[in-house]
Amino acid sequence: MSTYLIGDIHGCYHELNALLSQVNFQASTDELWLTGDLVARGPDSLGVLRLVRDLGDSVRLVLGNHDLHLLAVYAGISCNKPKDRITTLLEAPDADELINWLRRQPVLQVDEEKRLVMAHAGITPQWDIDTARVCAREVEAMLSSDSYPLFLDSMYGDMPNNWLPELSGLARLRFSTNALTRMRFCFPKGQLDMISKDAPDSAPPPLRPWFMIPGPVSEHYSIAFGHWASLEGKGTPAGIYALDTGCCWGGDLTMLRWEDKQYFRQPASRPDDRGIETQSDAQARDITRLG
């Protein structure tokens, strides 16, 4: 049995299949961890969701901000943006089934035996592992409930940006969602900065990447995350694994085999290899690459 961790797929169905074939992935014996953002920006979000769902219990995934955006579009909370390229998914005959499966997926994975934690954006240094578990379960409970449109409508916003145990209600849920799915930089004491998307070496002071600020979780666990393609998988401390390498922007889809820490990469396919990307798709990709 092997454990494979894959960074943000973003609808890159062809590359996902090729990467799984590289290692001869066996759903009956192997385990697949996915850092979230399964959908949007790439050419085949529908194919990705169907594949991941059909892999069943062999998959341990977390939701990312683009997955939440898809849920918000489906619920009528947010607009379907052409650059997200999710219309085919929304119009699919099994869209309801896929969406209801997706909103019941976790936002945090913790494996005590492996001492491994995974969240789409990472773990705020203001949290210990017990707090991270509690806050994640609260978000998951709302997403899987009949009240999920209310939560999705309130999740947009950058405040509060400082963790306090007494946070409650929608403010608490918004902080947790931002920390788990949107965070990149923090202030020195761990408060979230939700504005800067710069590369780590060009962010304005005093901002620092969240993983450069010591915290209780990173002291005791390895952390795998996606979300930050401009890192290109580089520049993190030991025990912190950045796995989003921008496949949907023409980079690679990256996989880490946990047992021996070997990396596998699948370069983004050319449009004619995928056989489904049009000229207008390519133009949209180029226009939105920095988005």
Q: What gap in Å lies between CA 98 and CA 45, rounded to an integer?
A: 11
CB-based burial, 138-147: b 16+ in 10 Å, e otherwise: bbbebbeeee
Contact of 250 with 271, CB cutoff 8 Å:
no
52-67: average pLDDT? 98
Q: How far apart are the first and last CA of the chain?
A: 38
CATH number at residue 145: 3.60.21.10
- Give the total number of structural domains in the chain: 1
Q: Give yes or no for residue 286 having a pLDDT over 80.
A: no
pLDDT tens, residue by residue, 228-276: 999 999 999 999 999 999 999 999 999 999 999 999 999 999 764 544 4
More confident residue, 217 or 199: 217
The pTM of this model reads 0.92
Q: Give yes or no for residue 291 having a pLDDT over 80.
A: no
Q: Give yes or no for residue 63 having a pLDDT over 60.
A: yes
Q: Give yes or no for residue 43 having a pLDDT over 70.
A: yes
pLDDT tens, residue by residue, 109-155: 999 999 999 999 999 999 999 999 999 999 999 999 999 999 999 99
Could you tell me the residue range of the domain that residue 70 belongs to? 3-288
pLDDT tens, residue by residue, 164-202: 999 999 999 999 999 999 999 999 999 999 999 888 888
> What local confidence, expressed as pLDDT, does residue 213 receive?
96
DSSP state of 252: E
How does the average pLDDT of the chain come out, rounded?
92
How long, in residues, is the chain?
291
